[in-house]
């Protein structure tokens, strides 16, 4: 018993180690088959289970089509993008540029098409991801990219008033385009003017290069107005595309409306509905009368030159240092300081070439002079209304004088 091995047996159960390995491997294989097969308890695939999986993997019958084709270049910014589904319905469409800015659009009620709400930007690469489902709910997706055209000819819109400015209650929004527009509806859709508090705002074209916006009545004080320009990619005329995306905001200040009575030679300045001051004036004399109507201050000059040749009066006058001048019309109507007429002229006679003159000093150094005071109290966008002049009402397009056109003549 001392050190002799036990023949044909072991402490583990009586079989040699080499002979014990085979049953262990077989047992492991049986466990593996049981774990992967399932079947007996009805929870696995069981016999024929592979056929069910093949049915689940059947491709969707829905087909998504995208125009332009994948990788296309020089794609038009309007009308070229078309996304549709055949033998199914679109459920999701995303079109975005490289910065993630999405193109808003709408899927039709029948799920057959997706249409963008507006034009695309020029010289921009877009990615499309569209998903459709067939009648059994199986999805089909398509991903494409394309790049819009680089325009050879472009236009922009210069705007009034300036971004961030504070203006008077009479300030319209006025746009001048650098090229004549022959597709006005396309341009209109790319421009939006809104206000807070909200009011109805209408627009009007003058010729083919100017577009103005205004509410029915003067803005209320403290109104915030926003102009949104999305002209980039708009074909304003054949082969000429907008190249501008910008948001402009301005604020309306207090209400100041001044009324010039050319017959009594007086101007009444009202601030927020109350008379602030009455000022003697001189208006246009016989043959050079001042326009009647509501005129809006569009520019202010501490000192400016007034030359009759620039407004059709030949060499009748050339005054190089007119003080405290504020423009009321494109054609040359100003309300300004006048130091060359005698003091008794103001309040008693009309002697100007169509402007409204207020007593002033040469150089404009006297801050107490009527012209200096009125200049300091005025904002661009304030209204100056002239009445009782022997002249016609100023056309709405001569300056920023939109208020002289009836409301029903403005487009909704």
Active site residues: 336, 355
Residue 173 near residue 96, CB atoms below 8 Å: no
The pTM for the full model equals 0.81
- What pLDDT does 22 receive? 40
The Cα 156–Cα 248 span in angstroms is 14
Other beta carbons within 10 angstroms of residue 122's beta carbon come to 21
The Cα 219–Cα 196 span in angstroms is 10
CATH class of the domain whose range is 256-400: mainly beta
| Residue 161, preceding peptide bond in cis (omega within 30° of 0) | yes
The Cα 343–Cα 358 span in angstroms is 10
> Residue 374 in 3-state DSSP?
helix
| Fold entry, domain 63-148 | Immunoglobulin-like (2.60.40)
Q: Domain residues of the chain, as ranges?
A: 63-148, 153-252, 256-400
Stated as kind and residue range, the H or E segment containing 252 is strand 245-252
> Residue 377 in 3-state DSSP?
helix
Share in percent of the chain as helix, strand, coil (round to 5)? 15, 40, 45
The Cα 350–Cα 338 span in angstroms is 13
Per-residue pLDDT of the chain (412 residues; tens, 9 = 90+): 444 343 343 334 443 444 444 444 334 433 333 333 333 444 444 444 444 444 457 999 999 999 999 999 999 999 999 999 999 999 999 999 999 999 999 999 999 999 999 999 999 999 999 999 999 999 999 999 999 999 999 999 999 999 999 999 999 999 999 999 999 999 999 999 999 999 999 999 999 999 999 999 999 999 999 999 999 999 999 999 999 999 999 999 999 999 999 999 999 999 999 999 999 999 999 999 999 999 999 999 999 998 766 666 666 668 899 999 999 999 999 999 999 999 999 999 999 999 999 999 999 999 999 999 999 999 999 999 999 999 999 999 999 999 999 999 999 8
E strands present in 334-392:
334-338, 356-359, 383-387
CATH class of the domain whose range is 153-252: mainly beta
Is the fold of 63-148 the same as that of 153-252? yes
E strands present in 112-200:
113-116, 125-133, 139-148, 153-155, 157-160, 166-167, 173-177, 191-196
């Amino acid at each position: 018993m001392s050190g002799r091995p036990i023949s044909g047996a072991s402490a583990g159960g009586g079989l040699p180690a080499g002979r014990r390995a085979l049953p262990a491997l077989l047992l492991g294989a049986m466990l593996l088959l049981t774990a992967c097969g399932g079947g007996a308890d009805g929870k696995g695939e069981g016999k024929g289970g592979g056929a069910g999986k093949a049915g689940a993997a059947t491709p969707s019958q829905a087909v998504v089509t995208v125009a332009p084709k994948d990788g296309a270049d020089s794609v038009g910014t309007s009308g070229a993008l078309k996304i549709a589904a055949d033998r199914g319905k679109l459920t999701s469409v995303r079109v975005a540029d490289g910065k993630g800015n999405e193109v808003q659009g709408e899927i039709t009620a029948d799920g057959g098409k997706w249409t963008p709400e507006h034009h695309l930007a020029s010289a921009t690469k877009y990615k499309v991801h569209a998903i459709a489902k067939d009648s059994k709910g199986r999805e089909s997706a398509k991903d494409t990219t394309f790049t819009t055209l680089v325009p050879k000819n472009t236009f922009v819109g210069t705007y009034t008033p300036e971004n961030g400015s504070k203006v008077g209650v009479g300030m319209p929004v006025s746009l001048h385009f650098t090229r004549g527009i022959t597709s006005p509806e396309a341009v209109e859709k790319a421009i939006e003017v809104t206000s807070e508090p909200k009011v109805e705002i209408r627009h009007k074209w003058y010729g083919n290069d100017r577009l103005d916006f205004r509410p029915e009545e003067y803005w209320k004080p403290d109104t915030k107005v926003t102009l949104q320009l999305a002209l980039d990619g708009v074909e304003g005329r054949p082969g000429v595309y907008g190249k501008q995306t910008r948001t402009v905001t301005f604020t309306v200040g207090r209400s100041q409306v001044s009324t010039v009575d050319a017959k009594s030679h007086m101007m009444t300045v009202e601030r927020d509905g109350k008379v602030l001051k009455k000022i003697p004036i001189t208006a246009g004399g016989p043959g050079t009368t001042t326009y009647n109507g509501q005129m809006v201050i569009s520019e202010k000059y501490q000192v400016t030159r007034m030359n009759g040749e620039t407004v059709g009066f030949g060499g009748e006058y050339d005054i190089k240092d007119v003080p405290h001048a504020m423009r009321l019309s494109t054609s040359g109507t100003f309300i300004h300081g006048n130091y060359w007429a005698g003091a008794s002229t103001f309040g008693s006679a009309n002697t100007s070439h169509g402007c409204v003159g207020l007593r002033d000093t040469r150089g404009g150094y006297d801050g107490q002079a009527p012209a200096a005071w009125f200049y300091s109290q005025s904002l661009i966008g304030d209204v100056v209304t002239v009445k009782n002049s022997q002249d016609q009402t100023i056309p709405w397009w001569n300056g920023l004088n939109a208020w002289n056109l009836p409301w029903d003549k403005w487009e909704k």
